[in-house]
Amino acid sequence: MGRKAQKGTAPPKATRERRPARRLQGVDPRVLAGQLYELHARAERGGDQGYLERWPGDGETHGVLLFAQAHAGRLAGEAHQQATLLRITLAEWLRQQADPLQLRALDDARGVGVRWDQVALALQYIGADGEPNPSSAFNRHASLKVAVHGEPEDRRQPHVARIIEARVVREELERRERERTEDARYPAMDAAARALLAHFQAGEILSDPDDNFWWDELVEVVDDRRDATERANLVVYVRGAVHETHAYARRTGQEPTTTAPAAAALEVASALVDPGGAST
């Protein structure tokens, strides 16, 4: 008699402590609302007339959900199933939009001296003794930090909030340092960008006639650098144009430039965007 097949060991159930923060990806609520509308429009053509005149508009997500819930019974079969799934996704999208708004409200409240027991009252976190529960309000604030600022692998738990706070601070410091570095070399980057464009527009720098994305972008932004962030980002466009030209030159076996001054301008720009690196 053969051995009984052993049952595979089921993976451990995701507990509250293990469960990662979830975020919807690639959801456009207007598109989903439009799909809901079409389901109801088909139902209206086959039965009740006129009720879609009260449709709130695709951009009114909360109103769309209320309308779709109130008129769910007008749908049948597969259309009814599709509509319920669309409502689930829309409701989840709407809930996730509320998280950063509530977090900002809590931050603002604490910033102006509102106590945790007052926050608990606003959230109606009331204990069995009828008193507000400030620790629940504190935990809500902490979990919102994880939900809003955390990564998908982060656990949505209050004790992780300190890690998230430290990460946000670190990333902000790194961003400011990058901006300071790029802002300091902005004059050189600006000069390199303008030299590149002069030679490009003179037809002395090779480009793909079917794909000039980065060159077109560089033309648009070079005269529109108004603050430190925008000045720091100029390197992105210069790098893109330089890489685009070198990549096309490699694909076609051509030289990236047709004149010595253009070659010099391209070399200067390459050194700025890839300091210490090899030719792109």
Write down the residue that tokens 């794909």 correspond to.
211
**Tokens representing 140?**
């809500």
Write down the residue that tokens 């996704």 correspond to.
89
Structural domain spans, the chain: 24-98, 115-183, 185-273
pLDDT tens-place string over residues 42-82: 877 766 667 777 888 788 889 889 988 988 888 888 888 99
pLDDT at 47: 63
What is the overall mean pLDDT for the chain? 80
CA atoms within 13 A on the CB side of 14: 7
Span 104-131, average pLDDT: 89
Other residues' Cβ atoms within 10 Å of the Cβ of residue 88: 11
Paired residues of 205 in beta bridges: 257
Q: What is the percent of the chain where pLDDT is above 90?
A: 19
Is the pLDDT reported for residue 25 higher than 90? no
- CA dist., res. 75 & res. 81, Å (int): 9
Counting other chains too, the contacts that 144-152 makes at CB distance below 8 Å and 24 or more residues apart are 144/99, 144/102, 144/103, 144/106, 145/103, 146/21, 147/21, 147/96, 147/99, 147/103, 148/99, 148/100, 148/103, 150/21, 151/21, 152/20, 152/21, 152/22, 152/23
Quick one: pLDDT band at residue 6, thresholds 50, 70, 90?
A: very low
pLDDT tens-place string over residues 176-196: 777 777 767 788 888 999 999
CA atoms within 13 A on the CB side of 217: 15
Quick one: pLDDT band at residue 260, thresholds 50, 70, 90?
A: very high
pLDDT tens-place string over residues 197-211: 999 999 999 988 888
pLDDT at 5: 43
Tell me how far apart the 2 most distant CA atoms of the chain are, in Å: 85
Region of poorest pLDDT, from 100-109, 141-150, 258-267? 141-150
pLDDT tens-place string over residues 211-230: 888 898 888 888 877 777 77
Span 251-263, average pLDDT: 93
pLDDT at 178: 74
